[in-house]
Amino acid sequence: MTDTLRSDTAWSKTFNTMNGEIKLQIRKLAGSSSEKRYHLVVKLGKEDVYKLHLPEVEGGYSVAVLKDTSTSRQFYVLQSKERAYLFGYEQSSKKFEIYVDSQNYLNRYNGIPTIAVLKNGDLVLAFEPAYASVNAPNYRYSFFWDNRNSWFSYKDLGTGYGPVQREMS
């Protein structure tokens, strides 16, 4: 998605949520260093609730929206070949939170991080090589919402999986 942005242009998308209208915008900054090439701004209604500078990365960034059908909560995945985030608006704290940052998890084989929902409904963070085969070294974590803590808990699933793309819904 961001790899097609020209200098000083932006991608934006608005989502209707149970908390109101959330708008994600990523702007490519022409005059900035490569470490702060992109600027993510999240708005709830007209108020900025989150800002983050992102480095320029090969292949750019992609955005996906996930919805928990049992709670109607929406989550947002922003990922590149180098890093993956799972964000969401936390009603109790009135903040846009980073629930999962791939840099906070062991990437044993230096794989590309991917946050995905599998066909069975599981939410996973997978680390695998760019051209994953059934025998490629990989690593996975499974995430589930903990209502008591209003946060994601996780389980370390270890290694031994095929490419996550084959299991995605």
pLDDT for the residue 120: 92
Give the residue from 66, 86, 102 where a domain finishes: 102
d(CA 13, CA 100): 21
Tell me, yes or no, whether 16 and 75 share the same domain.
yes
Give the residue from 47, 74, 102 where a domain finishes: 102
Residue 54 sits at φ, ψ, to 5 deg, of -125, 145
Tell me, yes or no, whether 110 and 143 share the same domain.
yes
Enclosing domain of residue 137: 105-169
Tell me, yes or no, whether 2 and 42 share the same domain.
yes
Tell me, yes or no, whether 40 and 10 share the same domain.
yes
Give the residue from 84, 102, 120 where a domain finishes: 102
**Coil/strand/helix, residue 102:** helix
Tell me, yes or no, whether 125 and 161 share the same domain.
yes
Helix and strand numbers, DSSP H then E, in the chain: 0, 12
Tell me, yes or no, whether 121 and 78 share the same domain.
no
Tell me, yes or no, whether 43 and 125 share the same domain.
no
CA distances from 84 to 46, 80, 104, 109 (A): 26, 6, 10, 16
Tell me, yes or no, whether 148 and 135 share the same domain.
yes
**Coil/strand/helix, residue 3:** helix
Per the rule left: phi > 0, alpha: psi between -120 and 50, beta: everything else, 19 is: alpha
Per-residue pLDDT in tens (0 to 9) along the chain, 169 residues: 666 777 777 899 999 998 899 999 999 888 888 888 899 999 999 999 999 999 999 999 999 999 988 788 899 999 999 999 999 998 888 899 999 999 999 998 889 999 999 999 999 999 998 875 666 778 999 999 988 888 899 999 999 888 888 898 7
Structural domain count, the chain? 2
pLDDT for the residue 33: 82
What is the value of pTM for the model shown? 0.89
Per the rule left: phi > 0, alpha: psi between -120 and 50, beta: everything else, 150 is: left
Tell me, yes or no, whether 43 and 71 share the same domain.
yes
Find tokens 């929406």 and name the residue: 74
